[in-house]
Structure 1
Amino acid sequence: MTAPTLEIELSAPVNLRDLGGIPITGGILREGLALRADDLSVITNDDARRLVDNGLTAVIDLRTNDEAAITGRGPLAGHPLAYHHLPLMESISAGMPEGETFVIEHVAMGEMYARMVENAAPQLVTALTIIALTPGATAFHCAAGRDRTGVLAAVLLLALGANDDDIITDYARTHPNMAAIQERMRPVLGPLMARLGFDLDAMTSMTVSEEPMDISMHTMLERLRERHGDALAPLRAAGLDIGTITRLRERALA
């Protein structure tokens, strides 16, 4: 018997944005250094070509091994790009609530993000080093472009000297895109989540805390400072040095 074939529907990203324009130490982060995105493995050929034509030279894939095994690199594999697979979680089910009722509680999400920074600090340091050394633009993505992507975006902005308000504002820009993100994720994540014992339909209709989404990122920063003093301390302990930070800031302002 053979495994059922999954029909992959290619589509344009719905949560892609350049981090350019955010105030950092010494000025304003330029466009063309770092892009954050939802799943880039299922973008259309035209979208892939457009990204490369606009200066994309490296991709950091933050998805789990299970997720990446389903779609691989997608159309971007046909272009001369550096590809780096740096999973920030062992399994997509990590941090999922137990039971039949799923509730998105933004403080709990922020606490999960803080643990991710602590547990995946080596991967995050590697990602920052890639961005520092890549000659063109680097795009990083997970599935939705919110949680794992949001964590990497936050530590990058921290390293560049952005303030908390701007980091939180960037994170919260994903909120209006969530309905489109969920619809785009469904063809790939549906079968994977079912295999892991989760019902994606139930999860997309789960109860959402009435608190604003930005509380998650605020909580992450707060918890890291409560435990370490410096939100970047776990990354510094994992090898983030002044040389990498200096290189990032030079590239961000160039």
Structure 2
Amino acid sequence: MDREIALEGCVNFRDLGGYTAEGGHIRWRTLFRSDALHELTPADVTAVRSLNVTTVIDLRSDYERARDGGPHPLSGAVDLIRAPIINENNAHVMGDTSLTLAQRYARIMETTGTALADAVTAIAEAPGAAVFHCAAGKDRTGMVSAAVLGTLGVADEDVVADYAMTGRNLTGIRERLARHAAYRETYAYVPRDAMTADTATMADLIADLRARHGTMKSLLLSQGVPDTIIKRLRTSLVAPVPVA
């Protein structure tokens, strides 16, 4: 089954299904990650709706949403959940060049307020397929992917490879962001490593979080995700190995 799904308004939309997880594998066509869903064309909306997407988790900040303009193209057709992973609590972290990109990710994931818990809960409770997105579909989307896949027992190397998959789309992402004045201004102050998708970044993030939390599940619990939601996440996303 195709992992990457071509759309007109987005360049980084893909399926998180198929990865081996604890007790089975991640169900195909159940969880997606993406870049700028707010730029979907009418044809894209039809394509996304055909995937049985019922829940969209928007990881952008209030600042970004206000400047991207207009209603979300999927507004009224799906449940829209706002979960600003980078917010007033931690916005300064991405510009802190005393930290590596992986360390910035880790600090952000530990200081999202309720945003990380809100995103994970929305994924677990989605009546159909869910998709989460930010502007580039790399940093914040990568953090949520790592938390969800890691909690479900997906191997580190698969989480790392999925993050690095964005690398092939970085040129298109940069070109799209450059068309928007708000992003041109914002990214002028973002360290250059924030526009990379190296395998070492995700590998270091996983090692950093594991050293201080033990497991991704423990991280989620520390961020306010109840065990009942983690169990529901597993039920929703993991297709068990068939009994012979």
Secondary structure, in 3 states, of the residue corresponding to 1:76? Answer: coil
Specify the code of the residue in structure 2 equivalent to 1:169: A
- One-letter amino acid of the counterpart of residue 17, structure 1: R
Deviation at 1:243, TM superposition (A): 1.8
Q: Distance in 2 between matches of 1:121 and 1:217?
A: 22
TM-score (norm 1): 0.81
Does residue 114 of structure 1 match 2:106?
yes
Which residue is equivalent to 2:210? 225
User: Offset at 1:33?
Assistant: 1.6
**TM-score of the pair, normalised by structure 2:** 0.84
Uncovered stretches (5+) of structure 1, i.e. residues with no partner? 1-9
Q: Deviations for 1:31-87, whole angstroms, at most 9, x for unmatched residues? A: 12211000100111110121012201111000111101122543212x421001110
Count of residue pairs the alignment pairs up: 230
Q: Is 2:44 the partner of 1:52?
A: no
Counterpart Cα distance in 2 of 1:243 and 1:208:
37
Q: Which of these residues, 31, 34, 37, is aligned with residue 37 of structure 1?
A: 34
CA apart distance, 1:253: 3.0
CA contact (8 A) 1:62 1:141 kept: yes
Any idea what the Cα deviations from partners look like across 1:133-158, whole Å, max 9, x if unmatched? Answer: 11111110000000000000110101
- Using the alignment, how far apart are the partners of 2:193 and 2:116 within structure 1? 28
Contact 2:87/2:112 (<8 A) preserved: no
Larger Rg: 1
Shift of 1:175: 0.7
Find 2:160's aligned residue among 157, 164, 168.
Answer: 168
Structure 2, gaps ≥5 residues long:
1-6, 240-244
For 1:3, the equivalent position in structure 2 comes to none
2:22 to 20, 25, 42: 25
Deviation at 1:128, TM superposition (A): 1.2
Give the whole-Å Cα distance in 1 for the aligned partners of 2:135 and 2:192: 20
Report the RMSD for the aligned CA atoms in angstroms.
2.7
Residue pairs, 1:1-254, within 5 angstroms? 11-71=8-68, 72-77=70-75, 79-90=76-87, 94-97=92-95, 108-120=100-112, 122-188=114-180, 190-194=181-185, 199=188, 213-254=198-239
Contact 1:64 1:88 (8 Å CA) reproduced: yes
Distance in 1 between residues matched to 2:11 and 2:19, nearest whole Å: 21
Dislocated runs of 4+, deviation >4 Å: 206-209
